[in-house]
Amino acid sequence: MSELSEANQVARPRKQPLLLKWSWRELWHGQLWPVAVALTLIIACVFALSALVVRVEKIMVDQGRTMIAADLVFRSANPLEPPLLEQAKALGLTMSQQTRFGTMAFSEQEMQLVSVKSVGSDFPLRGELVLKGAGVRHRVQPGELWLAERLFSLLAVKRGDLITIGDAELTVAGKITQEPELSFNPFSQMPAVLIHNSDLAKTGAVQPGSRVQFRAYFNGPDDKLRQLQQAVELQPGQRWISETTQGRTGDMIERARQYLSLTLILVILMATATLVLTCWHYTSTRIEAVAMMKSLGASKRWLWQWLARQLSLLFAIAAVAGLSIGWLLEFLLRLPLSDVLPDPLPESGFTPVFVSLTVALLVAIPGLGISLLRLVDAPAISVIQQQVDWPVKRQGNALVLLPVVAALIWFGSNKFMWLTLAGLAALLGILALLGLLVVALLRRGKWGAAIKLALSRISRSPLATGAQLAALTSSLMLLAVIWLLRTDLLADWQQTLPADAPNVFALNISPEQQQAYLDELDRNQVVRSEGYPVIRGRLIEINQQDLLAGTSQGEERDESLRRELNFTWRDTLPVHNTLLEGEWSDSRGVSVESGIAGRLGIRLGDELTFNVSSQPFSAMVTSIRLVEWRNMRPNFYFIFTPDVMAELPATWLVSYRIDADQNALINQLGRDYPTVTLLDLRTMATRIQAILQQVSLSLSVLAVLGVSSGLLLVLTLLRLSLSQREQEIKLYRTLGASRKRISATVWGEYGLMALIAGVMAAAGAESVVAALLKWGFELPVIGHPWLWVMLPLLSLGLVVIIIRSMIKRLLMPLKG
């Protein structure tokens, strides 16, 4: 007995290496290596994409936060309350405070309206403040006064001169060369003056009733910042400012984030489909081998051990290869961005490794598990008689819950993602039915023998054909969606700051100076807008209903009702506005911007009452306009007909573009027209252009990766489909079909499927992109006529590549 036990102990160690060796051989000499390749590609693509997404998102967030000088900003019309500051301190956040107000600055010779910012020695928390005096400085110290460059000529001062701000006389320390905070509202901009917080009281400019803005800047971990926001109940006149709320850059960053997330999801979906297809193909090729092992006495337990070793080796190899290839791929993806990415790059951390391996595991468990359960249940009789179907335990389908539950946790309440996935699922079923319908209609036509046989082959199994068409169509559609969204987003962002966008605004031009000022610009061949009369006022009533009377305490009124607005009047519609409803009127009318009309419920024919300098007047809504606020042109909520406001005192506004060789013109205009407020936005425009370039190139690279994943899926689908035709081709040959007839049938079948799939993919992509643009990204819907030609051609091209690479091998057994 003891000898037998010893023999078993000796045999077991020998059995294990033998099984491991057999598993290794099966992995590479069997049909499991395509699964290993698919899993490797999933890990590589997800790693590269998620690593680049992490880096790009960090860069975009960093750029956005640089524009607000902190990670988070609290803005209030009232002094900052101690509980807010105490809460921030308790959370361990870095903090800085600022007080800003508009006032007059006086030198010995001139005076100028300026925006005074009283800051601490720790300002800014993000970005770079460059002050040039005796040397270069980056912080404001007590007793110092720093001026925007234009103020030196406007106030006729130099470094060391005295300037009076309120009750305080301060010495000019130098000029502000670079400031992190930039405002995108030209109407609210004035030349900046920086002083220290300790000098604020000396000015005496902050009095009860003064128009003052108080700000607190915070830096710290995102979770702590969220806790601070949740702990503060906002009052009227208060708001939080983050990188996603800063106008044009905020919109751009938020939409880029949505695109990055969507691209990652679509790549995962396409890589998953590639893996599932290869798994099912592996199962179909190993049925006879498993049946033979069962006929020789192998148990299900032994088979699972045999498969488990293969899968463990497979996943380990795929993980090492995938992470290595993914790292190299991410490095290559960054090469086109090397000129615009910051140095050093933000760390991607462990997240890409975790995400890629987790996604691969969650996809592999159901993708491999369900097909392998079917394989292990294959009957032993399959050795001598091929079995089409056999009883399979349905409990294995529960494995699908793993990725579903993971998606529920990952997406959470992200309606954008859920609507996208639900729409894609619904569209997949519709495309399958449409494909079958098209095939049925084609069968009614008169065709040659090869096409007739191809159509018969396609329609023989409606379920399989529908699935095949849906898979091919959805693959083409997804790669088209990724590219089209990238194209449309970039086209929209180009409108944010086009090459000829104005970069200087001239305000407060008196009526007497207006024509002379415009003539001066024209003489210097400056590209400019039309002149606009501007007057400030408030909207107070809609159809005799007081807009302020019904507001309860603590209720947040629309932003347009909390402040004075800029009004103008014109005879014609501005060329950069689009008329949505109504007609342009020439008397007693007002045209309303579509956004404020929607928020306040304003409709055509409504009577609006306004107040300008305590003078009320009314006008009827005659049109609704679409306004692109990001194009750096003069835009207005309300544009009146001239007869409504022509008698009211107004100043004029014009915007224009100054090129690099026209810098002297700005200074000359400042000297010739000292009462005109010049807002030089060139620095801001340069910074926005830099962000736009970074994001645009990043999205282009990500789109290429997404499209590549889609092409891989299409190629895999076609290759596996042709591989499954091998037995059928042998049968055709046995029945007397010539190689020429079989080849023509294969070309006809897959050519028809490619054309049908290409056309349906174009229709599906247009539908998906239109829905995402309208409800996801809130952008205008754009048609893509070229897509209806490109996708069918691409589909046919891929079919040609696959058939040419496989047709000889498929016909090889027919020789002789």
Instruction: List the structure tokens of 751.
Output: 């050519």
Give yes or no for residue 705 having a pLDDT over 70.
no
Q: Which of 330, 262, 244, 260 is nearest to 61 (CA)?
A: 244
Residue range 340-359, pLDDT digits in tens: 566 666 677 788 888 888 88
Q: Positive or negative, the Cα torsion across 82, 87, 88, 92?
A: positive
The predicted pLDDT at position 4 comes to: 36
Percent above pLDDT 90 for the chain: 6
Buried b (16+ CB within 10 A) or exposed e, 469-493: bbbbbbbbbbbbbbbbbbbbbbebb
CA distances 369 to 34, 268, 379, 722, Å, are 16, 18, 18, 24
**Torsion-angle region of residue 554: left (phi > 0), alpha (psi -120 to 50) or beta?**
left
Phi, psi of 657 (to 5 degrees): -110, 125
Q: Which residue has the higher pLDDT, 785 or 646?
A: 785
What's the pLDDT band for 554 if we cut at 50, 70, 90?
very low
Phi, psi of 603 (to 5 degrees): -125, 165
Give yes or no for residue 592 having a pLDDT over 90.
yes
User: For the residues 232-242, what does the mean pLDDT come to?
Assistant: 82
- The CA-CA-CA angle for residues 300, 304, 305, to 5°, reads 120
Instruction: List the structure tokens of 464.
Output: 């399989």
Residue range 292-303, pLDDT digits in tens: 777 777 788 888
How many residues would you count in the chain? 816
- The residues near 11 (Cβ < 8 Å, ≥ 6 apart) are none
| The residue to which tokens 């009526």 are assigned | 511
User: For the residues 745-758, what does the mean pLDDT come to?
Assistant: 80
Phi, psi of 586 (to 5 degrees): -115, 5
Cis preceding linkage at 124, omega within 30: yes
Give yes or no for residue 658 having a pLDDT over 80.
yes
CA distances 560 to 78, 239, 365, 538, Å, are 19, 14, 54, 8
Instruction: Please spell the DSSP secondary structure of 535-559, one letter per residue.
Output: EEEEEEEETTEETTTTPPTT----G
Q: Which of 258, 194, 640, 304 is nearest to 486 (CA)?
A: 258
Give yes or no for residue 133 having a pLDDT over 80.
yes
Q: Which of 562, 567, 617, 555 is nearest to 593 (CA)?
A: 567
- The residues near 367 (Cβ < 8 Å, ≥ 6 apart) are 272, 275, 276, 279
- The residues near 384 (Cβ < 8 Å, ≥ 6 apart) are none
Of the ranges 116-130, 326-340, 393-407, the best mean pLDDT one: 116-130
What's the pLDDT band for 218 if we cut at 50, 70, 90?
very high
User: For the residues 435-446, what does the mean pLDDT come to?
Assistant: 77
The predicted pLDDT at position 725 comes to: 67
Residue range 478-535, pLDDT digits in tens: 778 877 877 777 676 666 566 667 878 888 888 888 899 998 888 888 888 888 998 8
Looking at residue 96, its amino acid is S
Give the separation between CA 259 and CA 366, rounded to whole angstroms: 27
Give yes or no for residue 813 having a pLDDT over 60.
no
Q: Contact at 8 Å (CB) between 203 and 165? A: yes
CA distances 751 to 450, 744, 809, Å, are 12, 10, 19
Give the separation between CA 252 and CA 244, rounded to whole angstroms: 8
DSSP letter assigned to residue 385: S
Q: Chain centroid to CA 328: how far? A: 24
The two most distant CA atoms of the chain are separated, in Å, by: 118
Domain positions in the chain are 1-69+246-412, 72-241, 413-500+681-816, 504-680
Tally Cβ neighbours within 10 Å of residue 75. 16
Instruction: List the structure tokens of 8.
Output: 């078993």
- In this structure, of 72-76, 195-199, 720-724, 803-807, the range with the lowest mean pLDDT score is 720-724
- The CA-CA-CA angle for residues 686, 691, 692, to 5°, reads 95
Instruction: Please spell the DSSP secondary structure of 120-168, one letter per residue.
Output: -TT--SSS--EEESSSEESS--TTEEEEEHHHHHHTT--TT-EEEETTE
Phi, psi of 747 (to 5 degrees): -60, -45
Helix (H, G, I), strand (E, B), or coil: what is residue 448? coil
Q: Which residue has the higher pLDDT, 615 or 38?
A: 615
Give the separation between CA 59 and CA 47, rounded to whole angstroms: 18
- In this structure, of 60-69, 314-323, 705-714, the range with the lowest mean pLDDT score is 705-714
CA distances 732 to 720, 739, 743, 800, 809, Å, are 19, 9, 11, 22, 16
- The CA-CA-CA angle for residues 679, 682, 688, to 5°, reads 120
Q: Contact at 8 Å (CB) between 777 and 258? A: yes
Residue range 623-649, pLDDT digits in tens: 999 887 766 778 899 999 988 887 788
Residue range 23-32, pLDDT digits in tens: 666 666 556 6
Give yes or no for residue 774 having a pLDDT over 90.
no
Phi, psi of 258 (to 5 degrees): -60, -40
Q: Which residue has the higher pLDDT, 806 or 687?
A: 806
- In this structure, of 107-121, 296-310, 700-714, the range with the lowest mean pLDDT score is 700-714
Give the separation between CA 304 and CA 298, rounded to whole angstroms: 10
- The CA-CA-CA angle for residues 474, 475, 479, to 5°, reads 110
Give the separation between CA 171 and CA 481, rounded to whole angstroms: 59
Residue range 149-190, pLDDT digits in tens: 878 877 888 888 898 888 888 889 998 888 887 554 554 556
Tally Cβ neighbours within 10 Å of residue 350. 8
Give the separation between CA 602 and CA 593, rounded to whole angstroms: 10
The predicted pLDDT at position 13 comes to: 45
The predicted pLDDT at position 673 comes to: 82
Give yes or no for residue 418 having a pLDDT over 80.
no
- In this structure, of 310-324, 481-495, 608-622, the range with the lowest mean pLDDT score is 481-495
Helix orientation angle between 401-411 and 351-376, rounded to the nearest 10 degrees: 160
User: How high does pLDDT run on average in the chain?
Assistant: 77
Give the separation between CA 685 and CA 166, rounded to whole angstroms: 32
Query: Partners of 617 in the beta sheet?
Result: 610
The predicted pLDDT at position 11 comes to: 40
User: For the residues 654-678, what does the mean pLDDT come to?
Assistant: 79
What's the pLDDT band for 7 if we cut at 50, 70, 90?
very low
Alpha-carbon Rg for the chain, nearest whole angstrom, is: 35
The predicted pLDDT at position 723 comes to: 67
| Burial zone of 406 (CB within 10 Å; 0-12 exposed, 13-18 middle, 19+ buried) | middle
Q: Which residue has the higher pLDDT, 640 or 277?
A: 640
User: For the residues 779-789, what does the mean pLDDT come to?
Assistant: 83
Give yes or no for residue 5 having a pLDDT over 50.
no
Q: Which residue has the higher pLDDT, 87 or 457?
A: 87
Instruction: Please spell the DSSP secondary structure of 468-526, one letter per residue.
Output: HHHHHHHHHHHHHHHHHHHHHHHHHHHHHS-TT---EEEEEE-HHHHHHHHHHHHHTT-
The predicted pLDDT at position 303 comes to: 81
Q: Which residue has the higher pLDDT, 801 or 583?
A: 583
Query: Partners of 102 in the beta sheet?
Result: 115
Give the separation between CA 761 and CA 431, rounded to whole angstroms: 8
The predicted pLDDT at position 479 comes to: 76
The predicted pLDDT at position 621 comes to: 93
Q: Contact at 8 Å (CB) between 72 and 227? A: no
3-state per-residue secondary structure call for 484-495:
HHHHHHHHHHHH
Helix orientation angle between 787-811 and 739-771, rounded to the nearest 10 degrees: 150
